[in-house]
Chains A and B, each alone.
Chain A
């Protein structure tokens, strides 16, 4: 246990509980600092996030911030997408996985920024 580990998991919790896909912070720490394999890092992040997400969702539901009418259909289709993801996951090489993720994040970030400028 060291400072980086504490900061990473703390930050991941803060960002993740705000819906920021904060898991990326933890994954970056696990892969870059601990040199863990990408898929292991992703798995750890997934488990790590569950208690955070549970607490967050309970809190937000109490505040009325979660719109179930909107989320249910999305969850349904997301599950279908997840199935495809698992299939790809089994066969994809790690290096490609990392680059893909990076590209995806930058793309979405840029789209978000451009939208705001308008």
Chain B
């Protein structure tokens, strides 16, 4: 049962990444925590799973003609700056705070999407 759940959740991570273009981490982090990783390890590991998925998804989305590469370029520099901030936060902020922020963020985003 546990193994089935693990495979189902893993499958869902990929499904979500390709279907929504985001949100895989929201499934992956709890999955890794179930496997005994700490909050931070789970978040970091989730990212390492999402990276290859994003590359594949980005390529296919582009191939399907949903967007152009040039559409995204303007945002990337700020994203990179944000990445430096985020990785620094991951170093300093305690697990339990991250956990709460994580959950709150999920709900906030979900409600936002539903309201559209």
* A residues at B contact (CB < 8 Å): 1, 5-6, 8-28, 31-32, 37, 39-57, 59-61, 63, 65-68, 70-71, 73-86, 88-90, 92, 97-113, 116
Main secondary structure on chain A at its contact with chain B? helix
Check A56 against B87 for contact (C-beta < 8 Å).
yes
Interface of B is mostly: helix
A residues in contact with B17, CB < 8 Å: 78, 82, 85
Task: Select which of A28, A51, A60, A75 is within 8 A of B44 by beta carbon.
Answer: A60
Name A32's closest neighbour in chain B (CB-CB). Answer: B116
B residues apposed to A, CB below 8 Å: 6-7, 10-32, 35, 37, 40-58, 60-62, 64, 66-67, 69, 71-72, 74-76, 78-87, 89-91, 98-116
Which residues of A lie under 8 Å from residue B47 when comparing CB positions?
17, 19, 53, 56-57, 60, 66
Query: Contact partner of B107 among A14, A46, A105, CB < 8 A?
Result: A105
